Amino acid sequence: MQSRIERPGHRRAVNDDDADRATRELQQAANALFALCLEAFDAFEGLPVLAEDIRVLSLNAELAAGRAGHRGAGVRALTQYTRELVARLTGAQRVMMRLRSEVYNQSAGAATRLVQLRVMDRAVAVATLPADVSQGGAAVDIGVVRDACLDDVVACIDRMVGSVAELIREAQVVEDVTAQSTSIATNIAIEAAAAGPYETEFRQVAETMRQYMDGLKVLLADGTHRVRAASEAGLAVQTQALAGRAA
């Protein structure tokens, strides 16, 4: 029986098919990571409205405290501190907007490079280079270009994961502000008990602030869940991209 002889070109085509498959899977994972990152940022899209609501409430409360004279001194101090917390929320929102823009840019960069990788993989798979060429300088040159392209993909994914890590830190700012604002609402309610004819007005301020804090807590719970999902996916895609580089 005549044995089948495997040609070098056939072996190379099989390997290149594997490379294209790995690139395609990395492309899908990077796209999924981008979607999860956007979901994480979208979870905080209600932050500007809540921050503005709290700011307006603090201004109105300060006016009421001014009308109350000495009975409103404690409330006035608390509302001034509230505006400092609002400034922290606004600062966190600005950082989140910047990070979201960076995620878009890095995702676009990774997508472009992954398309280039797939073009290279497919081109090599259909090439009919002589065995001595495919095993020599041409193959080495293609490998160098491919590795450089994949390095760019890894760098883009690393930056996306870094943006998610920064989002986690900004979410912690929101969490801290929520805790302190909740405490302020409680203290305003305490001050209301000694405010005489202004008690009802101050109690309404405290209740409204609690409602805003409940909104922030819901936002945080959803955001934390989505950020965790994006972070875990980012680490997995990093590992996948590095494995492709090592191969």
Output the pLDDT for position 129: 52
Output the pLDDT for position 10: 43
User: What parts of the chain have a pLDDT lower than 70?
Assistant: 1-17, 124-141, 245-247
Nearest to 240 by CA among 114, 119, 121: 114
Question: Tell me: the pLDDT tens digits for 65-104?
Answer: 999 999 999 999 999 999 999 999 999 999 999 999 999 9
Output the pLDDT for position 9: 45
Output the pLDDT for position 242: 84
Report d(CA 67, CA 69) in Å as an integer: 5
Question: Tell me: the pLDDT tens digits for 128-160?
Answer: 455 544 455 555 667 788 888 889 999 999 999
H or E stretch covering 228: helix 199-246
Report d(CA 30, CA 14) in Å as an integer: 24
Output the pLDDT for position 18: 76
Tokens of 72: 């409103």
The most distant pair of C-alpha atoms in the chain lies apart, rounded to whole Å, by 108
Q: Which domains, ranges and CATH numbers included, belong to the chain?
A: 9-246 (1.20.1170)
Output the pLDDT for position 140: 61
Nearest to 68 by CA among 205, 206, 202: 202
SS3 43: coil
pTM equals 0.82
Output the pLDDT for position 246: 52
